[in-house]
Amino acid sequence: MIAIDRVMDKLDSHLHRNDYAAAQRHLIYWLDEARMVRDSRAELFILNELMGLYRKTGKRDEAIDCAKKAFCFTENESAFGSIAAATTYINAATVYKAFSMPEESIILFDKACEIYERELPENDARLGGLYNNMALTLTDLSRFDEAEKTYKKAIRIVEGLPDREGEMAISYLNLANLIEKKKGLVDGDEQIRAYLDIAENLLDKHTRRDGYYAFVCEKCASVFGYYGRFLYEKTLRDRAREIYEREGRR
């Protein structure tokens, strides 16, 4: 059987250095190994990781192909567990959302939501992640009121958990984007500025400055730049670069 912990440790080391090419080679190697030894659980796990990696690197066809292959495993929830199936639906939904397929995305988010809300405690961090990503798709579908409620559900969950400032900042920036789409830049200006202020404060408070934080800084930087906060955009990009350089020297 494949030692998933070892696969993840090495994957994390590649991602902390922002080395996506090495991460892809690593996952493809272990996907082949999982198939060779017929370790279906490991195969599903690695397909999920590949989905996320291909999404981040803009490889649409590869990401969707991994999603379709993963669906073969979710058909048998009794063998892999309903949570594993829901997690796969979320990852695939995020792929479809990223590549401008919101109608396909929301179907999968709805499936995942039904399972997570049935199986997980109300304050589980995984529910927060689901709601945040689901709200992005609802926004794309112009279901603005539903999206706003869903973002706020995500925030209520993660604000009580440690080291979650980055996730909360992303949610508030998503809310700023939602308000722009719903009301426009002029009518939504006050709300947008308020959400940006909250996100900036959360990012500055974040104490764990690791590879994940660097990724969050990069993700958030362009949003601040879009709304004219160019100095803070540069601050976030500088933070991310310093972390990646430090991780690369280890």
pLDDT single digits (tens) 4-28: 999 999 999 998 788 999 999 999 9
Predicted confidence (pLDDT) per residue in 184-212, tens digit: 999 999 999 999 999 999 999 988 888 88
Pair 93, 106: CB distance under 8 Å = yes
Q: Report the C-alpha gap between 246 and 16 in whole angstroms.
A: 10
Q: Which DSSP state fits 120?
A: S
Predicted confidence (pLDDT) per residue in 136-184, tens digit: 999 999 999 999 999 999 999 999 888 899 999 999 999 999 999 999 9
Pair 17, 247: CB distance under 8 Å = yes
Nearest to 12 by CA among 2, 29, 26: 26
Pair 171, 154: CB distance under 8 Å = yes
